[in-house]
Amino acid sequence: MTCAIFMMINIRINAVPIKFIMLYLGLFLMIQNHSAAQEKKSTVYNFMTTSDNQHIRYGIWYSHNEIKRGSVVLLNGRKEFMEKYAETIRELNQRGFDVYSLDWRGQGLSSRMLANRHKGFIKNYDNYLNDLNLFISKIVQPEATIPLIFLSHSMGGHIALRFIHDHPKLVDKAVLVSPMIDILTSPLPEWFVRLIAWIAIKGGLDHAYIIGSGDYTVEKFKDNRLTTDPERFMDENKAIAENPDLALGGPTYGWLSATFESIDILTEPDFAKKITTPILIASAGCDRVVSIKAQKTICALLPNCRFAEITGARHEIYVG
């Protein structure tokens, strides 16, 4: 039996030149190693720890194009998480951009601020800004291909503007999609909602849900305020079904109060005038979440801003 096997091996070796076999094996191993390296370098999820001991999840997606066109820092909105932008990230990679993103503290898989992880809470927007500064300086800057571009949505656009104001040399240009310059409070007037938030904070209710809000529930597509695209609308629900820890419920009075405080900082006329970075504001023509009027006002004050309104679009322009 042993002799028979030996003879079979001899026949196979004699039938195919040994050099060819060695070359084939070498190429195979090289391809396997390269594929594994590319796979490892395609997407990187990790956590960074802040000075106040919060764990912020971030992601990096590298383009495989030979020529890189730059680096995009993707800043999402309230309630959102990185998985929601998988399609956008793929398209950016295909166009030659490396993509960097993070889950804001209090949402996604980053540290939640309250025992009930569904409650949207932030004490002060300085927390968001400090986390973003740590992310840019520690993770993005050491390896990013220039130009460095901010691509942001809603609350992410608000934070982006404040960050660019405070760090004018770090970002080369920015695209703000449906930026939260101010929020819509209808049917109640904003002054009244601000008063309610102030009373709630003074009464120690900063951790309480605002009236009408609660824990996460699966939202129905019909009559939603965010998108006209039913397929992309379901992407968020599918991601949460796969990992319920991604879910976030409504905002608390603490988040609302901090948001109004930051809106007041952002909308001071002298604030915008100091931002010279080239900025494009993409506004949703049928936005029922944030103020289009406030977007136009701040664009007029920014020294280098273009405004584009997408007719018929709802708040989440990314997803239809």
Residue 159 one-letter amino acid: I
Q: Pull the structure tokens for residue 11.
A: 């026949």
Tell me what the mean pLDDT of segment 302-312 comes to: 94
Confidence of residue 200 (pLDDT cuts 50, 70, 90): very high
What is the sign, positive or negative, of the torsion defined by CA atoms of 23, 29, 30, 32?
A: positive
Tell me what the mean pLDDT of segment 193-222 comes to: 93
Tell me what the mean pLDDT of segment 202-212 comes to: 96
Weakest-pLDDT range from 11-15, 117-121, 131-135: 11-15
For residue 5, the model assigns a pLDDT of 35
Tell me what the mean pLDDT of segment 52-77 comes to: 97
Weakest-pLDDT range from 26-40, 62-76, 162-176, 200-214: 26-40
Average pLDDT of the chain is 87
Residue 48 one-letter amino acid: M
Confidence of residue 25 (pLDDT cuts 50, 70, 90): very low
Q: Does residue 27 have a pLDDT over 80?
A: no
For residue 12, the model assigns a pLDDT of 41
The answer to whether the CB of 133 falls within 8 A of the CB of 160 is no
Measured from the Cβ of residue 197, the count of other Cβ atoms closer than 10 Å reads: 23
Q: Does residue 14 have a pLDDT over 50?
A: no
For residue 227, the model assigns a pLDDT of 72
Confidence of residue 230 (pLDDT cuts 50, 70, 90): confident
Confidence of residue 222 (pLDDT cuts 50, 70, 90): confident
Residue entry with tokens 């999609």: 177
Q: Pull the structure tokens for residue 71.
A: 């680096």
Confidence of residue 234 (pLDDT cuts 50, 70, 90): confident
- Quote the Cα angle for 174-172-83, to 5°: 50
For residue 7, the model assigns a pLDDT of 40
